[in-house]
Structure 1
């Protein structure tokens, strides 16, 4: 690693960096995926867009505002993402550039990622192991939080109360001097979740009140940045989170399970700028403690990476890097370690008129065994001021989790990595205030790991072969009538995820849609803004879902609506006091996301914020 950084620093004095912008001796560059992730569908929310979601979780945001299907076990319970028909373990999740998925499970619970913490969230759709690394088969979620220079001192505190014993408090403060910048966030959220529902497991489906579904979570995040001199910067972030939950039982069950999740996350980044190039050195540490009833599990991950980025001539931009990972797992049935090393190189070519091309390569070394080379090729082509075309092809890979390999009894250390190939193409259209984007994708996933019974023991194996194809469309417009502004957005997704024939599963499972993967999803919203007031009505439609591979049970489609009312021009002297009202499940629909997992009816939430 030291030799790698030393060599890159020598190259850095002569290479060029065209996309770097100097702002009062602080250089700012576009994120890596924006520069080199060409041909990919992307979505993002910045700090302003996340402002009305500070009392909520990442799971709730993605349910309302993205084309992802979130498999939700109940309010505040486990929430896992489904990108383009893949599983939760096929989604890579990063915080400040470091992976935060559980090494033992290979996934994250989106319900315990509160939106009071990140400043920006990006979604990258589809396979791209070359650009983002392990686990990025279906898609990736990138969380970013940092202290920024050139900002005035800020401070705010918000308090929300709502139905079913819900409450949330969030505090944020930031300050920037000439050399130092700070940002502190503290949050607390809880809910009793004592809502009523119809118990479908009992004759007559009587009404019952949920009595074992309370949750609470709290945490603190501290971001610090130090401008050492005009060409060097050091930044660090620490995030502590604690969640305590009563695990909601399914209908017909009276289990009293509890779970406590505690996470420690630390990132440290050093940036060195030359006139036209840059060097990044990043380290990170993530520790997750989980207490399920009386069973304790702990995993720790350590990361160290070095990247150099610059321009070669007028038309070429390159990025070279390496990352080492050490994983330690102390689980209830086993202890294990994992060592990984990955090298990567990204290239962007801009020498053709209105066409940008990217070629990315990554190679992983896992426990002294090289994994298949991961390439990706992308293109963005501006056809004219109105239309642009995108296209990409990429390979993805997921290394088997610690549980897959070492669980006692049943773990299988001979498992192969799950692999995918995906191609996508899309057309963007922008005309005045109208915009539209249409994307087609096709993906093959091989060696999909499934746990199957082998005698009295369940064990994982590379069994399933899946083909995913689909269409994603999103569009919208903004316009004004007098002093009232209108925003309209619409989206539709068609996702076909077919289980192909294999030697282990029954033929009755072949050529059928994967469980809990809706074929059709749609979203829409309209917002009115006038004189500090805003009114937004939004809705989501989720189509039928099978609960098993043989499709013996099909769950009904459902639609949900939300109403948001905001007023931002209330001032008490020098203090701004924004007020917002939110109504979820506006029409009080009875629905389930997953079979026999009841969800709440209509709920009302009132939020006050004091902003200096």
Structure 2
């Protein structure tokens, strides 16, 4: 087999839908085609839909126990934000099927207002990715991906769970496909009274109830062997009540609704592929300062996105990728000083890949954004991966990334600042992967420097205002050890990780708030015939909550343990039981809002 054909197969194995000998060699359509190329140079942790069911309370819990992301959650189901490698929530990009969906108002994603169910896989990528995924992809990115199979017939599944605190999760999914057409739809409804108690503080999570509803639908049609039209949409509705400490406290709530719809036209030939996407995303939110009164504030954001991704093999070794994108972002606030604003954003990216041998490859890229009223830097990235031996792979990644100010940062009244500069970062990381037998060890040291950090600070006039202030740097180590083995009917998978993150303000030399320096996790899965068992452990070190590292205000270390068992009959019917926080540990991820102690759930699933 010649090198060019090998590359076609290599790209195809990652879902890029190139063609060999004018004949399709892939039966799955992946909406985020770039993420699959990213895997050629960067480690990406993939969480399957089945794995997501282990942590079915919300997306915060899933990321906390199954990724390296640190999660700050203001009580179970309430406002929640992610942090990669000591960065902020605004420096994390949420990407839905290849489209950046961070809020135009906040510049981030509220994890508990993003659906958990309805995706075929969730990808976790640490490190900068602004060249491909745009603003906010500084610390890392979280990818919510859907796929469509062809020629698979009809499949369906139902998942239903009853859990502590009057919590109910229900999810249903169905799909049908033949050789030319594929369709998939799913729906989820989650609701919880969420009135857990924490005896250590004599705390009751009063007014903590929530619900959310999600509907997903997607379809793809092969017009010819070379042309495919595809569509994916998501509709989400959620309500969160914010906890109060006393029964007489003023009870508040937050409601949000989002719409995401994506149309894609893909053209694939032996030497090139082109994907044109048109997307519409909308976010609506309302805050109620009292449950019985009209909304106190709110807003509506609408985004129109057009993106073209052209990929071409110059020859058997060189591959060129050109990405162009144009967005119109519109926002209208209520009681926020943001009357009606609009911003045009354009960008062009170029990536050149060189496959020296089957064991050695390089990628270089650049990107220039054109953001209305914001001066943006030229971004770049360079990656190289070398399989030096059967037991050792090494890759190096260098990049410059950025985040432009959000609508709130610029226009909120009082406090918005129209003179803000975008945040920029330069970073370096190195991934060392060792393979011995059934063991795999990954060691990833990294360094990151961030300038023009956007923060909100109090003013002499009594309100907070956005400023570009200090510089920060983060450095540390991410490590992962995994093991997988099958002996007859016995299957075992285990992995453990240790994460060290030093993130300091360059002026004070102090650790930044809510960045634990030491964290660890471990997961084990055992399967025998129809029986399955899993355990999840999480260790979190001291977490400072103030900029002066005041120990008395810090969150103490804690260890959490979850366990679950399930039985599957006739490969269709599953009954399971889970215990969360088995050790009955008192813990919190932010000051004042403890999370639940020991709690339980029972679930049933049917596949047909």
User: Is the TM-score greater than 0.5?
Assistant: yes
Instruction: Report the CA distance between 1:129 and its aligned residue.
Output: 1.6
2:286 equivalent in structure 1: 291
Alignment map for 1:540-559 (pairs within 5 Å): 540-552=538-550, 553-559=553-559
1:603 equivalent in structure 2: 599
1:479 equivalent in structure 2: 485
Instruction: Report the CA distance between 1:43 and its aligned residue.
Output: 1.2
1:63 to 2:59 alignment: no
1:243 aligns with one of 238, 244, 249: 238
Q: What residue ranges of structure 2 are gaps of 5+ in the alignment?
A: 1-6, 12-17, 289-294
Q: Distance in 2 between matches of 1:385 and 1:601?
A: 45
Q: Is the 1:250–1:598 contact (alpha carbons within 8 Å) kept by the matching residues of 2?
A: no
After TM superposition, the score normalised by the length of structure 2 is 0.91
Per the alignment, do residues 114 and 140 of structure 1 end up closer, same or farther by CA in structure 2, a change over 3 Å counting?
Answer: same
1:584 to 2:568 alignment: no
Q: Name the SS of the counterpart of 1:150 in structure 2.
A: coil
Q: Is the 1:68–1:82 contact (alpha carbons within 8 Å) kept by the matching residues of 2?
A: yes
Instruction: Report the CA distance between 1:34 and its aligned residue.
Output: 4.0
Instruction: Report the CA distance between 1:361 and its aligned residue.
Output: 0.7
Q: Distance in 2 between matches of 1:320 and 1:151?
A: 33
Instruction: Report the CA distance between 1:521 and its aligned residue.
Output: 0.3
Alignment map for 1:84-233 (pairs within 5 Å): 84-198=85-199, 200=201, 207-233=202-228
1:536 to 2:527 alignment: no
2:520 equivalent in structure 1: 522
1:460 to 2:462 alignment: no
Instruction: Report the CA distance between 1:369 and its aligned residue.
Output: 5.4
Alignment map for 1:33-44 (pairs within 5 Å): 33-36=35-38, 39-44=41-46
Q: Is the 1:404–1:411 contact (alpha carbons within 8 Å) kept by the matching residues of 2?
A: yes
Instruction: Report the CA distance between 1:308 and its aligned residue.
Output: 0.9
1:340 equivalent in structure 2: 345
1:257 equivalent in structure 2: 252
Q: Name the SS of the counterpart of 2:175 in structure 1.
A: strand
2:354 equivalent in structure 1: 349
Q: Name the SS of the counterpart of 1:444 in structure 2.
A: strand
Q: Is the 1:57–1:112 contact (alpha carbons within 8 Å) kept by the matching residues of 2?
A: no
Instruction: Report the CA distance between 1:410 and its aligned residue.
Output: 1.7
1:498 equivalent in structure 2: 504
2:291 equivalent in structure 1: none
Q: Distance in 2 between matches of 1:33 and 1:394?
A: 17
1:362 equivalent in structure 2: 367
After superposing the two structures, state which structure 1 stretch, 97-106 or 248-257, moved more. Answer: 248-257
Q: Distance in 1 between matches of 2:481 and 2:39?
A: 22
Instruction: Report the CA distance between 1:429 and its aligned residue.
Output: 0.9
Q: Name the SS of the counterpart of 1:491 in structure 2.
A: strand
1:271 to 2:266 alignment: yes
Q: Distance in 1 between matches of 2:59 and 2:373?
A: 36
Choose between structure 1 and 2 for higher RCO, CA contacts under 8 A separated by at least 6 residues: 1
Q: What residue ranges of structure 1 are gaps of 5+ in the alignment?
A: 1-15, 201-206, 502-509
1:49 equivalent in structure 2: 51
Q: Distance in 2 between matches of 1:326 and 1:531?
A: 53
Cα offsets for 1:416-444 (capped at 9, x unmatched) = 00000000012101122111100000000
1:437 equivalent in structure 2: 442
After superposing the two structures, state which structure 1 stretch, 264-273 or 27-36, moved more. Answer: 27-36
Instruction: Report the CA distance between 1:173 and its aligned residue.
Output: 0.4
Per the alignment, do residues 318 and 28 of structure 1 end up closer, same or farther by CA in structure 2, a change over 3 Å counting?
Answer: farther
After superposing the two structures, state which structure 1 stretch, 304-313 or 437-446, moved more. Answer: 304-313
1:322 aligns with one of 300, 313, 324: 324
Per the alignment, do residues 249 and 537 of structure 1 end up closer, same or farther by CA in structure 2, a change over 3 Å counting?
Answer: same
| Number of residue pairs matched by the alignment | 578
Q: Name the SS of the counterpart of 2:585 in structure 1.
A: coil
Q: Distance in 1 between matches of 2:304 and 2:68?
A: 32
Instruction: Report the CA distance between 1:178 and its aligned residue.
Output: 3.1
Q: Is the 2:560–2:585 contact (alpha carbons within 8 Å) kept by the matching residues of 1?
A: yes
Instruction: Report the CA distance between 1:177 and its aligned residue.
Output: 2.2
Q: Distance in 2 between matches of 1:353 and 1:302?
A: 40
Q: Name the SS of the counterpart of 1:514 in structure 2.
A: coil
Q: Name the SS of the counterpart of 1:320 in structure 2.
A: strand
Q: Distance in 1 between matches of 2:491 and 2:133?
A: 39
Q: Distance in 1 between matches of 2:591 and 2:488?
A: 48
1:400 equivalent in structure 2: 405
Q: Name the SS of the counterpart of 2:116 in structure 1.
A: coil
Instruction: Report the CA distance between 1:51 and its aligned residue.
Output: 4.9
Q: Distance in 2 between matches of 1:84 and 1:253?
A: 40
1:311 equivalent in structure 2: 313
1:567 to 2:573 alignment: no
Q: Distance in 1 between matches of 2:133 and 2:240?
A: 32
After superposing the two structures, state which structure 1 stretch, 116-125 or 462-471, moved more. Answer: 116-125
Q: Is the 2:29–2:147 contact (alpha carbons within 8 Å) kept by the matching residues of 1?
A: no
Q: Is the 1:38–1:392 contact (alpha carbons within 8 Å) kept by the matching residues of 2?
A: no
After superposing the two structures, state which structure 1 stretch, 24-33 or 335-344, moved more. Answer: 24-33
Q: Distance in 2 between matches of 1:476 and 1:36?
A: 22
Q: Distance in 2 between matches of 1:253 and 1:75?
A: 21
